[in-house]
Amino acid sequence: MNQCQAAARLRVALGHLGQPSARAGVAYPTSGAVSPNSFHPPQFQYTRDNDVLSLEQRNFYEENGFLVIKNLVSDADIQRFRDQFERICRGEVKLEQMMIMRDVSIAKSEYIPSERMISKIQYFEDDKELFRYCTLPEILKYVECFTGPNIMAMHTMLINKPPDSGKKTSRHPLHQDEHYISFRPSNKIVCAWTAMEHIDRNNGCLCVLPGTHKGSLKPHDYPNWEGGVNLMFYGIQDYDENSPRVHLVMEKGDTVFFHPLLIHGSGWNKTQGYRKAICCHFASADCHYIDVKGTSQEIVEREFMELVHRLYGIPKDTSLKEVSRYRARLVKGQRISL
């Protein structure tokens, strides 16, 4: 399918989703306030009852908002994702509805079919090989600890952090993923992020602020960086500079599960290699969509729709939740409200 056909398919599908809700345009202070988290017994608010996590792991996630599971994805699977990524870079795989992003330091006119041109692939739900990541039993076994048994894969990415050009544009500012997310409640959403190689501070590991998942969604804006900022790389301006930070040094196959309100980012890549990670945001199938108009997330919707309008001709007044609903895939149990 070429990009025009893909866009047509998306337009048709979105047509079936109806018009934006009548609440569009009503001003809400923040989207955090639109939909408070549902009630959970106070002892465990962020994890579900099952026998996968030890009490220590469960308490760790409850307290810190993230949990690293070592050596979770096999070398063979990582190699398959890497091979597919390389085929995409060489132009051997049709992009279907995947979205390719490149670093702001690469001139628009420059085009060489290589991994140099792709800093991130988003929306690989229709790529059988990459989407296998979201269906791996070892990943879903842990996802279920946070979402419960009915699981939707909501947003996928393969991140290929390029060697930094010296402008530090490969950094990812501190942010909360919920800023980009149009469904709730937060406590039934989790991101799984798997290192595709050894990742440390040299090649730009993840940096997390433990415990920040207990706060609310903060206002985000583009950071004022001299060297430029990548599209959609919003950051939090008013976090506590003295908050302890943890740099997650990970080996190939290690996977971190984290809460959508956890403040995190990643450093610049000081090496000559392309640092790779694959990830997916999962949610419980009984979550619900929210309307982000009138909230601090409205800017994401506007900017994202301008982008997909330019790329695929999707009408600009399409909402983030319509796109999310179209992209969402059931990976375990039953599709309920998402």
Ligand X SMILES: O=C(O)CCC(=O)C(=O)O
For position 213 contacting ligand X by CB under 6 A, the verdict is: no
Rounded to whole angstroms, the Cα distance separating 156 from 130 reads 9
Q: Pick the closer one to ligand X by CB: 21 or 122.
A: 122
For position 261 contacting ligand X by CB under 6 A, the verdict is: no
Helix (H/G/I), strand (E/B), else coil: 208: strand
Q: Between 114 and 153, how does the x/- string for binding to ligand X read (CB under 6 A)? A: ----------------------------------------
Judged by CB under 6 A, which stretch of 14-22, 60-68, 86-94, 154-162 contacts ligand X? 154-162
Rounded to whole angstroms, the Cα distance separating 165 from 144 reads 40
Amino acid at 155: H
Residue located via tokens 């930094």: 164
Minimum CB separation of residue 160 from ligand X in Å reads: 9
Rounded to whole angstroms, the Cα distance separating 84 from 132 reads 11
Q: Pick the closer one to ligand X by CB: 172 or 188.
A: 172
Residue located via tokens 């090649």: 203
Among 155, 172, 184, 218, binds ligand X (CB under 6 A): 172
Minimum CB separation of residue 197 from ligand X in Å reads: 12
Cβ-based neighbours of 44, under 8 Å, separated by 6 or more: 58, 62
Phi/psi for 19 (5° steps) reads -85, 160
Report the site for ligand X in 38-67 (rule: CB under 6 A).
none
Among 104, 256, 263, 277, binds ligand X (CB under 6 A): 277
Rg (CA), the chain: 19
Amino acid at 10: L
Minimum CB separation of residue 56 from ligand X in Å reads: 26
- Residues near ligand X, by CB under 6 A: 157, 159, 161, 172, 177, 206, 264, 266, 277
